[in-house]
Amino acid sequence: MNIVSTDRDTASVPAELAAFVYHEAMLLDTQRYDEWLTLYAESGLYWMPLSQDQAPGDEAPSLLHEDLLLLRLRIQRYRNPRAHSLHPAVRGLRILQAPQVLTSDASAELHRMRTPFLYMETQGDTQKMLAATAYHTIEGRPGAFRIRMKKVELLNADACLPAIQLLL
């Protein structure tokens, strides 16, 4: 479900962008993955680089570098009863700081957001916590926003990380 509105002035665009980012986190937290996928543009990309200074592109190794097709396959795997790494059930929760608009070009309908957050993941008796910053490149206008790219920079991406089962 996308936030729908028709009469918006440009002053409300930052609030609409922040609401969009919060909405995306809620869909992930509640495992409403089909709705979450609809937030992505057809050329959308989800990227977790190995370092904060890594240049965009799939030439260098990344923790995750998935287009919409690969994200759909990942969601199918989440639903597969033979995905044994997801048993017992895995749940994730994001605690977001207020999303910040870094750039916004209303005429080009292109916006860039920064959102620091904590991610908790639990499975059985195990719980892990990761700190990260999400950078969303969002295209469109209020009511029709789509994620062009979500870049998640883990605070300690260069460390030995635990197995992360769900998307951050």
CB 92 within 8 A of CB 120: yes
- Tell which wins on pLDDT, 137 or 107: 137
Domain residue spans of the chain: 10-154
- Among residues 80, 50, 72, 51, the alpha carbon closest in space to that of 63 is found at 50
- Tell which wins on pLDDT, 99 or 5: 99
Judged against a pLDDT cut of 70, whether residue 3 lies above it is answered with no
Judged against a pLDDT cut of 80, whether residue 49 lies above it is answered with yes
Judged against a pLDDT cut of 60, whether residue 1 lies above it is answered with no
Annotation: CATH topology of 10-154: Nuclear Transport Factor 2; Chain: A, (3.10.450)
pTM, entire model: 0.90
- pLDDT-derived band at 51, boundaries 50, 70, 90: confident
The rounded mean pLDDT for the chain is: 91
- Arithmetic mean of pLDDT, 114-124: 97
Cα–chain center distance at 151: 7
CA distance 37 to 124: 27
- Arithmetic mean of pLDDT, 75-80: 93
- pLDDT-derived band at 110, boundaries 50, 70, 90: very high
For residue 7, the model assigns a pLDDT of 46
pLDDT, one tens digit per residue, over 7-43 is: 445 569 999 999 999 999 999 999 999 999 999 999 9
